[in-house]
Amino acid sequence: MNRLFVVCVLWLFATLASAAPRVGVVTMAPGEIFFERFGHNAIVVVDETTGAATSYNFGYFDPSEPDFVARFARGEMMYYLVALPFEQDMAYYREVGRGAKIQWLDLRPEQAQALADALAENAKPENAHYPYDYFRDNCATRVRDALDNALGGALKRQLAGRSRGNTYRSESVRLATPATWMWLGFDLGLAPYADKPLSRWDEAFVPMRLAESLREAKNSDGHPLVLQETEVLPHRIAPEPPERARRWWPWLLAGLALAALIVAFGRKHPRLLGAFALPLWLLCAVGGALLVYLWGFTAHRAAWANQNLLLLNPLCLLLLPAAVALLRGRNPGRFSRWLAWLVAIAAFVAWFLHWLPFAFPYQDNRAWVALLLPVHAAIAYVCLMRRSLSR
C-alpha cells in the first residue's frame, strides 16, 4: 500500500512537471503617441506548475544604439524580443489608459510546449534582435509567424487566400488619422507598393487585425483556435479610428475652388499670387526632395517609385525666384513661366497614369491629383497671361 502511494505521488509530480504551458495572445489598443497609433501585441506563456506568466514582446528598440536616428531614416531599424513578467508588461498600458484583451489559445500540448521553447530560445540576447519592417516584419507579424510555426503552417493556410480589400495605405492612413502630420506623411510617402489588396495574412501587420483573424481561425483539430477572450485592461482613451471610404471628389472641389481664386485674383494682384505660390512651391520642393531620398537612398521599399513626385515636384525649387518676383509686383521671367507649365504637365501625367494600370502599377493618389493638378495648372496659366497682358 505504501509502495502504491509513493508511485502515485511520483506519477502526480511527473505529470505536473510535464504539464504543457497555457498560451495566449494579448492585444493592446492604440495609444496617443505617434509610434503607438498601430496598437501592439505579445504572446503570453503561463507555466501551469508555478502560475508564472511571461510576456514575449517583440516591440522593443533601443534609441541609445549608435546611429539610431540615421538607421531609422534609412529604414534599417533593429527591434528585439524581450521576455518579462506579464504584469510588468501591462503596467505601462494600465498607466496610459490603453485597453488590453487576451485570447487564450486551444493548442495541443506538444504545440504549446514547442511554442514556449521557441520563444524562450528566441528571447536569448544572441537571438533577440531582428531587422524591423513596419509592414512585413514587425511586432505583430512576429507573433503571427510564431503561432503559425506552432500550428505547422495551418494559420497561414487559413488566412493567405482571403482578403477584405484593405491595403497598407488604407490601414496606415486610418490608424494615423488622429495625428494629422502622420497620416499626411503616410498618404504622400507611400508608393504603389502600399496599394495592393492584402490577404488576411498580410493585414495581420496590424495587431487588432490579427486578433480578429484569430477569432475565426481553427486549430489543428478543427476546433476554434481561441478558447476564451477576456479583458485585461479597460480602454480609457480615444478608440481606434473606424474604417472610412476614401473619397477624392471633396479634394477636387477644393482644388477647383483654389484654381478659380488664383485665376480670378492672380492676374490683377501679383503679390497675392506670390504669397500663395511661394509656400506652395517651397513645400513641393521639400516634399519632392524627401520622396527622392526615400526612393533612391533608403530601404523603405513602400516609398519606392512614388508617383507623387509628379505632384510634389522638386523642380519647384527653381520657381522660388519667380514667387519672389511676384511678391515684388513683377512678372516672372520666360524660364520660370515655362517651368511652371512643366510642373503643371507633370501633374497631368500623374492623373494620366491612372488610365494606364497595365503599364504602371496603381497608386491611390487620386485625392492629391485632384487637389494639386488644378492648382499647378492655374498658376502656370496666370503666369503666362500676366506676361501676355504686360506686352
Quick one: pLDDT band at residue 2, thresholds 50, 70, 90? low
- The verdict on residue 261 lying in a domain is yes
- The verdict on residue 5 lying in a domain is no
- Same domain (yes/no): 207, 288: no
Pairwise CA distance, residues 336 & 320, whole Å: 9
Residue 86 near residue 104 (C-beta atoms within 8 A): no
Residue 60 lies in domain: 19-233
- Quick one: cell of 143? 507573433
Overall average pLDDT of the 326-337 stretch: 90
| Max CA pair span of the chain | 119
- Same domain (yes/no): 190, 267: no
Number of domains within the chain: 2
**Among 258, 274, 231, which Cα is nearest to 370's?**
258
- The verdict on residue 243 lying in a domain is no
Give 32-47 pLDDT, tens digit per residue: 998 899 999 999 999 9
Q: With the CA atoms of 244, 247, 250 and 253 taken in that order, what torsion angle do they form, in degrees rounded to the nearest 10?
A: 180
Overall average pLDDT of the 188-195 stretch: 97
Pairwise CA distance, residues 162 & 201, whole Å: 8
- Same domain (yes/no): 214, 255: no
pTM of the model: 0.90
pLDDT of residue 179: 93
- Quick one: cell of 79? 527591434
Give 71-115 pLDDT, tens digit per residue: 988 999 999 999 999 999 999 999 999 999 999 999 999 999 999
- Same domain (yes/no): 257, 283: yes
Report the CATH number at residue 129: 3.90.1720.10
Pairwise CA distance, residues 250 & 257, whole Å: 11
- The verdict on residue 12 lying in a domain is no
- Same domain (yes/no): 286, 323: yes
**Among 246, 241, 264, 274, which Cα is nearest to 368's?**
246
